[in-house]
Chains A and B, each alone.
Chain A
Amino acid sequence: MLTSILLSAGLALMGAGIGAGIVAIGAGLGIGRIGGQAMESIARQPEAAGKVQTAMLIIAALIEVVSLFAVVVCLLIALNAGGLTF
Chain B
Amino acid sequence: MTRKFLVLSLLLSAFLLNFSVATFAAGAETEEGKEDPTGFIMHHIKDSHEWHFFNIGHTHITLPLPVITYASDRGLEFYKSSDFQNPDTHKFGKEYAHNGIYIDDHEHLGRVDGGSILDFSLTKNVAMMLIVIALVLYMALSAAGHYKKHGAVAPKGAASLVEPIVIFVRDEIAHKAIGPKYMKFVPYLLTLFFFIWIGNLLGLLPGAANLTGNIAVTFTLAMLTFIIVNVNGNKDYWKHVFATPGVPVALLPIIVVVEFIGLFTKPFALMVRLFVAITAGHIVILAFISLVFIFESYAIGVVSTLMVTFINMIELLVATIQAYVFTLFTAMYIGGAVAEHHHDDDHH
Q: Give A residues with C-beta under 8 Å from B.
A: 57-58, 61-62, 64-65, 68-69, 71-72, 75, 79
CB-CB < 8 A to A62: which residues of B? 273, 325
CB-CB < 8 A to B257: which residues of A? none
Q: Interface 1/0s, chain B 308-345, versus A by CB < 8 A?
A: 00000000011001101100000000000000000000
State whether B321 touches A57 (Cβ < 8 A).
Answer: yes
Shortest Cβ gap from A36 to chain B (Å): 20
State whether B38 touches A61 (Cβ < 8 A).
Answer: no
Q: Give B residues with C-beta under 8 Å from A.
A: 38, 272-273, 276-277, 279-280, 283, 317-318, 321-322, 324-325
Please classify the interface of chain A as helix (H, G, I), strand (E, B), loop, or mixed, using the class held by over half of its residues: helix
State whether A61 touches B325 (Cβ < 8 A).
Answer: yes
CB-CB < 8 A to A75: which residues of B? 283
CB-CB < 8 A to B283: which residues of A? 75
Partner of B277, one of A57, A64, A79: A64
State whether A79 touches B38 (Cβ < 8 A).
Answer: yes
Complex-state Cα separation, A49 to B142, whole angstroms: 36
Shortest Cβ gap from B295 to chain A (Å): 20
Shortest Cβ gap from B148 to chain A (Å): 34
Shortest Cβ gap from A50 to chain B (Å): 14
Shortest Cβ gap from A60 to chain B (Å): 9
Measured CB to CB, the nearest residue on chain A to B38 is A79
Check A57/B317 contact, CB under 8 A, given A62-B325, A79-B38: yes
State whether B324 touches A72 (Cβ < 8 A).
Answer: no
- When A and B form their complex, which 10 residue pairs have the shortest distance between CB atoms, in order from nearest? A61-B321, A68-B276, A68-B280, A65-B273, A65-B277, A72-B276, A69-B276, A65-B276, A58-B321, A71-B280
Complex-state Cα separation, A79 to B53, whole angstroms: 25
Complex-state Cα separation, A62 to B280, whole angstroms: 14
Check A61/B318 contact, CB under 8 A, given A68-B277, A71-B280, A79-B38: yes
